[in-house]
Amino acid sequence: MTNLVELKDLTFAHGDHRVYDGLSLNVPKGKMVAVMGPSGIGKTTLLRLIGGQLKPDSGSIKVAGEEVPQLKRDALYQLRKRMSMLFQSGALFTDMSVYENVAFPLREHTDLPEELIRSVVLMKLEAVGLRGARHLMPSELSGGMARRAALARAIALDPDLILYDEPFAGQDPISMAVIVKLIKSLNESLGLTSIVVSHDVKEVLSIADYAYVIADKKVVGQGTPDELRSNDTAIIQQFLNGAPDGPVAFHYSDDDFTTDLLRGEG
């Protein structure tokens, strides 16, 4: 099986704060791969690295066989037309209606006539159940609707790869279930490759084909959802069951607490 995305020995730091140190993972074509980890571990950063918005300090990021950090601007933009990112906040353009938001990538990157754009937009909105909300402005949408509208925009150009950033975070149980079902059916019907980054373990394991758990700047466990559930490594179990105590520290890394107290400065 060929991999659409391959990360190897990735190192990355935000300033002095090391986020990844030797991270490797693969995403096979046509599969949905989950990347799980606690908040602040660098999941959004990982998606930005894959999308070429951030450059790694070392290591390789291959998408569709191309080494992303080395791509020239034009080549990177060409590659980005084949991938979409669903941002955590939805990131709808606030000065455009839902319809205009979904039409935006079509207008930017195709020369389709207006009637065709209309058909495509309505089709995508129908797929996420928002055809009736097409005239609303983003400020008039609920959180769940905004995320579905953003999803319609993300699939407007029929990408090969979708990157989902915390698609379930902050949703009520019903809209969570709607989005879970939607992502799953989109992936199956469109034959997409997806990377879902999330800390909602139960939801994401219910739809993923394969999952990675990241902690401590690298991959600490991987496998199919069943393999992971029966993995008895302490760190995996702590994460899957959401136990507060265990190998995963909830502290932002720093010196030893006592040393810090005795030093007596900010």
Ligand X SMILES: Nc1ncnc2c1ncn2[C@@H]1O[C@H](COP(=O)(O)OP(=O)(O)O)[C@@H](O)[C@H]1O
Residue 35 interacting partner from ligand X, Mg ion, another protein, none (CB closer than 5 to 8 Å by kind):
none
44 binds Mg ion, rule: CB under 5 A: yes
Minimum distance from CB of 261 to ligand X (Å)? 23
Can you give the binding site for another protein, defined by CB under 8 A?
A: 48, 51, 53, 77-78, 80-81, 83-85, 87-89, 91-94, 104-105, 108-109
Question: Which residue stretch of 40-48, 63-71, 107-115, 131-139 sits at the interface with Mg ion (rule: CB under 5 A)?
Answer: 40-48
45 binds Mg ion, rule: CB under 5 A: no
Minimum distance from CB of 266 to Mg ion (Å)? 27
Minimum distance from CB of 147 to another protein (Å)? 13
Cβ pair 92, 101 in contact under 8 A: yes
Minimum distance from CB of 180 to ligand X (Å)? 19
Residue 198 interacting partner from another protein, ligand X, Mg ion, none (CB closer than 5 to 8 Å by kind):
none
Nearer to ligand X, 15 or 173 (CB): 15
Cβ pair 144, 182 in contact under 8 A: no
Question: Which residue stretch of 36-44, 64-72, 96-104, 255-263 sits at the interface with Mg ion (rule: CB under 5 A)?
Answer: 36-44
Residue 41 interacting partner from ligand X, another protein, Mg ion, none (CB closer than 5 to 8 Å by kind):
ligand X
Can you give the binding site for ligand X, defined by CB under 6 A?
A: 14-15, 17, 19, 39-45
Question: Which residue stretch of 44-52, 208-216, 217-225, 237-245 sits at the interface with Mg ion (rule: CB under 5 A)?
Answer: 44-52
Nearer to ligand X, 43 or 134 (CB): 43
Minimum distance from CB of 160 to ligand X (Å)? 23
Residue 242 interacting partner from ligand X, another protein, Mg ion, none (CB closer than 5 to 8 Å by kind):
none
Q: What is the phi/psi pair of residue 161, to 5°? A: -135, 130
Nearer to ligand X, 14 or 109 (CB): 14
Q: What is the phi/psi pair of residue 134, to 5°? A: -70, -25
Pairing state of beta strands 83-86 and 161-165? Answer: parallel
Tell me, by CB under 5 A, how many residues bind Mg ion: 1
Cβ pair 214, 42 in contact under 8 A: yes
Q: Which residues bind Mg ion (CB under 5 A)?
A: 44
